Amino acid sequence: LSYNPNIHNMNIISISFGLAFCFFLIGYAVLRGISRTGLMVYTLLASLLYFYLANGVLMWLLPATALISWGVSRILQQAQRFRTFWLTIGVLLNLAPLVYYKYTNFTLETINHIFATNSSLLSIALPVGISFYTFQLIDLVFPYYLII
């Protein structure tokens, strides 16, 4: 699958998104009465396809950070010691992509302004929904830390 943002316009207010969402809803309605597991797999695959069409290969950030949160949550469920350490690791690993994609150029601009340098800014594409799913995944980890 190659990604071309000019071809795959999946902006939430685009006609292509509206049509794709209508087809998704039809599939959802069909699967709803048949299989709960099938419905969950269908929704997961449709979500990953949407993230791919909206973000290209950056869509792999979503399942990667979800697996990190899941792994840290599993460790926190069983850990008797070093719980704060594992919570910190989980939060930092989830925040790392957000910090990179949202704040790298801001930091470079600030450094350029303060030190009167002329470092060039990076061409970084901001993944759709990165702030939302980052904080949702952090919220997934915290309850396991609070359970003693």
pLDDT of residue 23: 92
pLDDT by residue (tens digit) across 85-105?
A: 999 999 999 999 999 999 999
| Distance in angstroms (rounded) separating the CA atoms of residues 97 and 103 | 10
pLDDT (average), residues 26-46:
92
pLDDT of residue 76: 93
Half-sphere exposure of residue 52, counting CA atoms within 13 Å on the CB side?
A: 10
Tokens of 78: 């069983």
pLDDT (average), residues 123-133:
85
Rg (CA), the chain: 19
pLDDT by residue (tens digit) across 62-73?
A: 899 999 999 999
pLDDT band at 1 (very low <50, low <70, confident <90, very high): very low
pLDDT by residue (tens digit) across 2-21?
A: 445 555 566 677 788 888 89
| Distance in angstroms (rounded) separating the CA atoms of residues 147 and 145 | 6
pLDDT of residue 129: 83
